[in-house]
Amino acid sequence: MERINNLRMILFDSLFMISVLSHVHGNQLEEYISRNRSMVVPLASMNLIEHCFVEKAEPVVLFGNWSANIIDLQSQSWNIVQIMGFKKRENICNYTNKLKIYKIDPDSELFIPYPVQKFVIAEVNLSMLKLVFHKIKHSIWWNVNGFYVVQNIHVHNSCKNARSLMQIVWEFNILSVLFICHDLVSGLNLYTFNPYNEEAPNVWKRVPENYRKNYANDLTLFNRPYDLKSSSMCEALNFIKTMNLSSYPIQLCTREGTGGLRRLFEQINNVIWTKMNAVVNVTIVETTGIVDSEGLPNFATKDVLDGKFDGFLAPDFRRDLWKNEVNTFITSRICYVTNKEELTFFEQLSEVFPSKTMLVLLLLSLTTMAIFKYLLKESFSEVAIDVLRVVTLQSTLREPVTVPARAIFVCIIFNFMWVSWNVESNLMSILTVSQPMRAVVTTEQDLIDRDYKIHSRYYFEQFNYASVISDLNVRVRNVIDCLEVVDNDAKNACLDDCTVINFFAKENQDIHIAHMEPKRYYVLVYRDDFPLKERVSTVYHRLLEHGIINKFSLDQMSAPRTSSKKLKNPDNYKRITMQQIKFVVYFIIIGDLFAVLVFFVELCSKCKKK
């Protein structure tokens, strides 16, 4: 029976070739086969997926000129969500624009809530393959982590194009791909590749290379026979290729002048890429840049999206780059740096003795006068004089007669001594600071009310949401310049990241640092369709779960600040001028005069009684 089937196949192939040769000749042969491919050979790619993948409800995107009977047959068991092909006069120029967000009507039959995982590309010429991937990339179904099956079996000896095909696939950063082709000797074969190393499961056989290897063309090819009857056919069709990068070069960039943040970024990347066995090259750039209101990236952000660098550390979520980001869960905030203002004496007095304290002292004095009047049996004026003597720590002229009254009297005297010492110490504290200062900016509204000029780097201008504040903004080159303008003018404010500001300046008697409420999360941003992004995310989150990232963060943020800029750095010791102690002299003189007045009042009252 098997021999009869083989004879039938040979006869069919012979009749087909005769039919083809009778219609075409020369270079037209391949074109003719391409037009009639759907009715010649069974669909090997879909048979492979149906045989080895059981998730038949999972959506599949087909690309090629499919005949209606094949589509109907496959649609009975597979969820085919899109059938793509070429239109007339379609070329790569139609897909040179960079699209970031794709939308589809949820009511559409094509709508699915997740990216497609499997793509089948059948019988496309090698010269048109790049256009195929451009068209898929600019569709809503694009998924760089998907599984791609490329079939080209109607052209005899199509396996000779395997390396060129894999080079085109790798240009689109696709790792999971199978190429089903026809070999003159061994028949149908499966090909795949590994761009990072020469490792593959045992079911794959490495294809010999006939060129000198270099990183610009360093793809290791593997093949195996296409045999659905084999028990190992479905083994390792899609294997992990990112476990060992074998010294593959990774190009990163970081912003200049960020101190501890840059060291933290480099330390984290060293651990991640050492784990993955890659070689990291870090380039210092002036600024990371942003995506502006027109959707155009600039500076390092543009370089990363253009592929010049593989990634960088961004100080905040980029709304336009959410698909390119890995959250580090390292947080910071936006801070305002402003000068403190010098307090007047009455402002100092109000801070030392706020209204509640003054009210308590008044109630305490009135209560003491009432108790003294009851214990000493004196007039109100005499009681007031005795309370005044107690406040000034002078001896009283009278004392209670009974023992219980004397005990209460002594307790009151001791309590007043403690209160008096406390009041005196608070008054003396005013003199311990040569230039008493206070923070006058604690909210964004304070900046508006006091007409401050807000200086910030280009990136931080986007945090000035209020139009009034944005009108007050002045751009500076770096955080050092930002802090210097605060040092030069009391009406200047500096806006920047709290972690960076705390690295260069600390709050002191002259400088106030106000923390804004919203948190900011540092993220790792990678280029479009970076094939190692998922692997980096996995390694990073394992480090985070084990506390290693927090340890790195604490070590770097607490490192010695050898380059810290000191604002308004005065001498270590300040002299107190006569102008600053004149209040003490006046207070002592007035106190002595008041004591003399009290003494004469007491003498007069004694003489009058006699």
Same fold, 243-333+534-565 and 334-339+439-518: yes
| DSSP bridge pairs for 205 | 223
Higher per-residue confidence, 601 vs 160:
160
In contact, 269 and 328? CB cutoff 8 Å? no
Provide the pLDDT for residue 30: 40
Asked if 535 contacts 316 with a C-beta cutoff of 8 angstroms, the reply is no
What is the distance between the alpha carbons of residues 209 and 556, in angstroms, rounded to a whole number?
A: 47
- DSSP H or E segment with residue 522: strand 511-526
Residue found under tokens 């669909």: 43
Angle at 531 between CA 530 and CA 534, to 5 degrees: 95
pLDDT at 212: 44
Let me know the angle formed at the C-alpha of 388 by 433 and 365, rounded to the nearest 5 degrees.
85
Give the whole-angstrom CA distance, residue 385 versus residue 395: 11
Return d(Cα 448, Cα 469) in angstroms, integer.
7
**How would you label 23-57 residue by residue, b for 16+ Cβ within 10 Å and e otherwise?**
eeeeeebeeebbebbbeeeebbbbebbbeebeeee
Contact call for residues 254 and 265 (beta carbons, < 8 A):
yes
Sheet with 177-183, strands from edge to edge, namely 79-84, 59-63, 118-122, 147-152, 177-183, 187-194, 220-225, 205-206
pLDDT band at 171; cut points 50, 70, 90: very high
Q: Looking at residue 241, what DSSP letter applies? A: -
Q: What token pair was written down for 190?
A: 């499966």
Q: Which residues share a beta bridge with 291?
A: 297
Indicate if the pLDDT at residue 206 is higher than 80.
Answer: yes
* Per-residue confidence (pLDDT) for residue 40, from 0 to 100: 38
- What is the distance between the alpha carbons of residues 610 and 602, in angstroms, rounded to a whole number? 13
pLDDT band (50, 70, 90) for residue 577: low
Q: Is 191 exposed, middle or buried (0-12, 13-18, 19+ CB in 10 A)?
A: buried
User: SS3 breakdown of the chain: % helix, strand, coil, rounded to 5?
Assistant: 45, 20, 35
Identify the band that residue 14 occupies on the pLDDT scale cut at 50, 70 and 90: very low
pLDDT greater at residue 238 or residue 36: 238
DSSP class of 173: T
Residue, of 245 and 45, whose pLDDT is higher: 245
The pLDDT of residue 166: 93
Pairing of strands 492-497, 325-339: antiparallel
Note the pLDDT of residue 599: 72
> Average pLDDT of 186-211?
88
Q: What is the pLDDT of residues 443-485, one digit of tens each?
A: 777 877 778 888 888 777 766 655 556 667 788 888 888 888 8
Residue with tokens 């069974």: 42
Taking the C-alpha atoms of residue 479 and residue 495, their distance in angstroms, rounded to an integer, is: 9
Q: How confident is the model at residue 33 (pLDDT cuts 50, 70, 90)?
A: very low
Q: For residue range 474-524, what is the model confidence (pLDDT) as tens digits?
A: 888 888 888 888 888 888 889 888 878 887 888 887 888 888 776 778 889
pLDDT (mean) for 110-138: 76
Range scoring the smallest mean pLDDT among 39-43, 367-371, 436-440, 585-589: 39-43
Half-sphere exposure (Cβ direction) of 182: Cα atoms closer than 13 Å: 11
User: 243-333+534-565, which class in CATH?
Assistant: alpha beta
Nearest one of 38, 221, 29 to 122, comparing CA atoms: 38
CA atoms within 13 A on the CB side of 466: 9
Residue 288 is predicted with a pLDDT of 80
Tokens at residue 9, please?
Answer: 């196949």
**pLDDT computed for residue 85 by the predictor:** 57
φ, ψ at 518 (rounded to 5°): -60, 135
Which 3 state secondary structure label does DSSP give 188? strand
pLDDT score, position 396: 72
Q: What does the pLDDT look like over 391-427, one tens digit per residue?
A: 776 777 777 778 888 788 888 878 877 887 777 777 7
Q: What are the backbone dihedrals phi and psi of residue 148, each rounded to the nearest 5 degrees, phi first?
A: -110, 130
Average pLDDT over every residue of 290-319: 82
Single-letter amino acid code for the residue at 157? N
Q: Which CATH class is domain 334-339+439-518?
A: alpha beta
Q: Which residues pair with 474 in a beta bridge?
A: 455
Q: How many CB atoms lie within 10 A of CB 328?
A: 20
**Domain boundaries, given as residue ranges, for the chain:** 27-225, 243-333+534-565, 334-339+439-518, 345-432, 578-608
Percent of the chain's residues with pLDDT above 70: 71
For the record, the structure tokens of 180 come out as 């089903």
The answer to whether 269 and 252 are in contact (CB under 8 A) is yes
pTM above 0.95, yes or no: no
pLDDT for 258 beyond 80: no
Instruction: Please give the backbone phi and psi of residue 245, each rounded to the nearest 5 degrees, phi first.
Output: -90, -5
Q: What is the CA radius of gyration of the chain?
A: 41
Distance CA 427, CA 588 (A): 13
What rounded mean pLDDT belongs to the chain?
74
Nearest alpha-carbon partner for 42 in 17, 18, 69: 69
Residue 173 has pLDDT above 90, yes or no: yes
| DSSP structure class, residue 86 | P
What tokens does 313 get? 């550390």
Percent of the chain surpassing pLDDT 90:
14
Q: How many Cα atoms are found within 13 Å in the side-chain-facing hemisphere of 60? A: 23
- Helical H runs in 53-190? 68-75, 126-137, 162-171
Q: Which residues pair with 10 in a beta bridge?
A: none
Is residue 539 predicted with pLDDT exceeding 90? Answer: yes
CATH architecture type of domain 345-432: Orthogonal Bundle (1.10)
Q: Which residue has the higher pLDDT, 587 or 200?
A: 200
For range 174-192, the mean pLDDT = 90
Rounded mean pLDDT of 583-599? 74
Angle at the Cα of 495 from the Cα atoms of 491 and 496, rounded to 5 degrees: 150
User: What DSSP state is assigned to residue 344?
Assistant: P
pLDDT at 163 over 80: yes
| CATH 3.40.50 is right for the domain spanning 27-225 | yes
Q: How much is the pLDDT for 464?
A: 62
Average pLDDT (341-365) is: 77
Distances in Å between the Cα of 176 and the Cα atoms of 147, 150, 206, 239, 338 are 5, 11, 17, 8, 55
State the Cα–Cα distance between residues 178 and 45, nearest whole angstrom.
Answer: 9
Take residue 122 and report the two structure tokens written for it: 């059948």
**Number of residues assigned to the chain:** 610
Q: Could you read off the pLDDT of 50-63 as tens digits, one per residue?
A: 778 766 556 777 77
